[in-house]
């Protein structure tokens, strides 16, 4: 049975457990991104070792390659990628808009060409839900129309309302008896009244959980936090809230302050591939010459396998030499750091010290 059990709160921050068909996950939770059914450079066992309990897969990419039929024939996403934890998929709307510039939008859905081979496809809200359910995801998203920063009010209103109509259509083909769960996606762009309208409309549809979309798309941070503040205040307290595609360590802490339970972002692995490590002091760029002979670990306060094994000097050498182990090590550490950060957040909420801790963290963390 899908259920969020809240064990502690402090102001709007919540510490809980999300019970789902793939097992229970502790919240607030960070989900590593496995776009192609793989968290880049890491094995499923390694991802588990970082503390991750749930990952994100990209339905758009997997629909195009290797295709629904193959994944379904091989037992669904869990068996296909040998991952025994939770899996959340997105609906593909954002990817169609961003990767297929010649897409065509109608009330029925989106026509688009594959960014891989130019083949033509059509995605309706019903097809998007059926696709994700057949892939075998534990949690999946309604089909929505993303709204870019800079959109006019009329564009924002039209996109938000088609998102609502698509959400209702998608919900009509969802099969809850499978134990798989569908989230509605709140849109509304950067118009406070449209954010309110979107949240209220989707809440009335009674989804098991709610995603907050259309943020961190180029807007100033103060605008993002204002829109998130408006949105989470209107969502049911007994249901999970997922902030899509966000973000940095300080973003996660601020999101928790505003009542968010779930996060995902490509940043830990992307920054790892670029030679940057997240530490409890802030970002550390291993390409800097000051680490050439540094015998210390990436982060002396981190208990991950990389920090317990390798020196900064060695990892910098691997990075400069183009060795794959550098990318793997930094990606592993960064995901482990994000999991440790979430564990600290959960612990402070449970202890009633989160507000004080968060204030100090946000004031001192170097991003």
Residue 247 belongs to domain with CATH number: 3.20.20.105
Is 278 part of a structural domain of the chain? yes
**Do 224 and 174 sit in the same domain of this protein?**
yes
pLDDT of residue 127: 98
Residue 167 · residue 185 · CB < 8 Å: yes
Q: At what angle do helices 324-351 and 249-257 cross, to 10 degrees?
A: 20
pLDDT of residue 115: 94
Q: Which residue among 235, 265, 295 closes a domain?
A: 265
Count of Cβ atoms closer than 10 Å to residue 324 Cβ = 9
Q: What is the mean pLDDT of residues 13-39?
A: 98
Is 150 part of a structural domain of the chain? yes
Number of H helices, E strands in the chain: 14, 16
pLDDT of residue 333: 98
**Do 240 and 173 sit in the same domain of this protein?**
yes
pLDDT band, very low/low/confident/very high, at 116 (cuts 50, 70, 90): very high
**Do 233 and 271 sit in the same domain of this protein?**
no
Of the residues 144, 251, 264, 299, only one is catalytic, namely 264
Number of domains in the chain: 2
Tokens read off for 132:
């994700």
Residue 225: exposure state from Cβ atoms within 10 A (0-12, 13-18, ≥19): middle
- Write down the pTM of the prediction: 0.98
Q: Which residue among 240, 265, 290 closes a domain?
A: 265
pLDDT band, very low/low/confident/very high, at 101 (cuts 50, 70, 90): confident
pLDDT band, very low/low/confident/very high, at 334 (cuts 50, 70, 90): very high
Confidence check: pLDDT of 56 > 90: yes
Residue 251 known to be catalytic = no
Q: What is the mean pLDDT of residues 143-149?
A: 96
Is 184 part of a structural domain of the chain? yes
Is 22 part of a structural domain of the chain? no
Is 14 part of a structural domain of the chain? no
Q: What percent of the chain has pLDDT over 90?
A: 98
Residue 54 · residue 45 · CB < 8 Å: no
**Do 114 and 214 sit in the same domain of this protein?**
yes
**Do 224 and 309 sit in the same domain of this protein?**
no
CA dist., res. 181 & res. 179, Å (int):
6
Residue 185 · residue 211 · CB < 8 Å: yes
Nearest 10 degrees: CA dihedral of 112, 118, 120, 126? -50
Nearest 5°: the CA angle 198, 202, 203 is 115
Q: What number of CA atoms fall less than 13 Å from residue 79's CA on the CB side?
A: 9
Confidence check: pLDDT of 348 > 90: yes
H or E element in which residue 183 lies: strand 181-186
**Do 253 and 286 sit in the same domain of this protein?**
no
**Do 151 and 260 sit in the same domain of this protein?**
yes
Residue 332 · residue 323 · CB < 8 Å: no
**Do 184 and 232 sit in the same domain of this protein?**
yes
CA dist., res. 81 & res. 87, Å (int):
11
Q: Which residue among 265, 284, 317 closes a domain?
A: 265
pLDDT band, very low/low/confident/very high, at 8 (cuts 50, 70, 90): very high
**Do 102 and 184 sit in the same domain of this protein?**
yes
**Do 203 and 259 sit in the same domain of this protein?**
yes
Residue 84 known to be catalytic = no
Is 301 part of a structural domain of the chain? yes
Q: What is the mean pLDDT of residues 339-367?
A: 98
**Do 57 and 163 sit in the same domain of this protein?**
yes
Tokens read off for 38:
């793989």
pLDDT of residue 286: 98
Is 4 part of a structural domain of the chain? no
Confidence check: pLDDT of 305 > 90: yes
Is 8 part of a structural domain of the chain? no
Residue span of the structural domain in which 323 resides: 266-367
CA dist., res. 116 & res. 36, Å (int):
13
**Do 168 and 259 sit in the same domain of this protein?**
yes
pLDDT band, very low/low/confident/very high, at 254 (cuts 50, 70, 90): very high
């Amino acid at each position: 049975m899908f259920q969020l059990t809240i064990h502690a709160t402090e102001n709007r921050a919540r510490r809980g457990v999300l019970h789902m068909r793939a097992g229970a996950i502790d919240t607030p939770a960070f989900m590593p991104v496995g776009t192609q059914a793989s968290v880049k450079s890491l094995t499923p066992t390694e991802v588990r070792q970082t503390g991750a309990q749930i990952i994100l897969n990209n339905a758009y990419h997997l629909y195009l390659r290797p295709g629904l039929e193959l994944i379904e024939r091989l037992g669904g996403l869990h068996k296909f990628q040998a991952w025994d934890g939770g899996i959340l998929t997105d609906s593909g709307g954002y990817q169609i808009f961003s990767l297929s510039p010649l897409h065509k939008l109608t009330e029925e859905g989106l026509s688009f060409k594959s960014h891989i081979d130019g083949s033509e496809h059509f995605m309706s809200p019903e097809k998007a839900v059926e696709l994700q359910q057949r892939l075998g995801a534990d949690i999946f998203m309604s089909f929505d129309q993303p709204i870019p920063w800079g959109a006019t009010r009329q564009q924002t209103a039209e996109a938000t309302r088609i998102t609502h109509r698509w959400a209702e259509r998608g919900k009509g083909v969802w099969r809850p008896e499978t134990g798989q769960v569908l989230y509605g996606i709140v849109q509304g762009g950067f118009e406070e009244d449209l954010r309110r309208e979107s949240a209220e409309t989707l809440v009335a549809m009674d989804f098991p959980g709610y995603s907050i979309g259309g943020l961190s798309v180029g807007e100033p941070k103060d605008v993002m936090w204002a829109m998130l503040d408006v949105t989470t205040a209107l969502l049911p307290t007994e249901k999970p809230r997922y902030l899509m595609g966000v973000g940095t360590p300080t973003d996660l802490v601020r999101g928790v302050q505003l009542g968010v339970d779930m996060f995902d972002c490509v940043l830990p692995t992307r920054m790892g591939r670029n030679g940057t490590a997240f530490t409890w002091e802030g970002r550390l760029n291993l390409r800097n010459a000051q680490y050439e002979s540094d015998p210390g670990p990436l982060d002396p306060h981190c208990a991950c396998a990389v920090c317990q094994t390798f020196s900064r000097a060695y990892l910098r050498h691997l990075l400069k030499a183009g060795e794959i182990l550098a990318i793997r090590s930094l990606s592993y550490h960064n995901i482990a750091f994000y999991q440790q950060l979430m564990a600290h957040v959960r612990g402070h909420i449970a202890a009633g010290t989160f507000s004080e801790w968060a204030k100090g963290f946000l004031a001192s963390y170097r991003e």
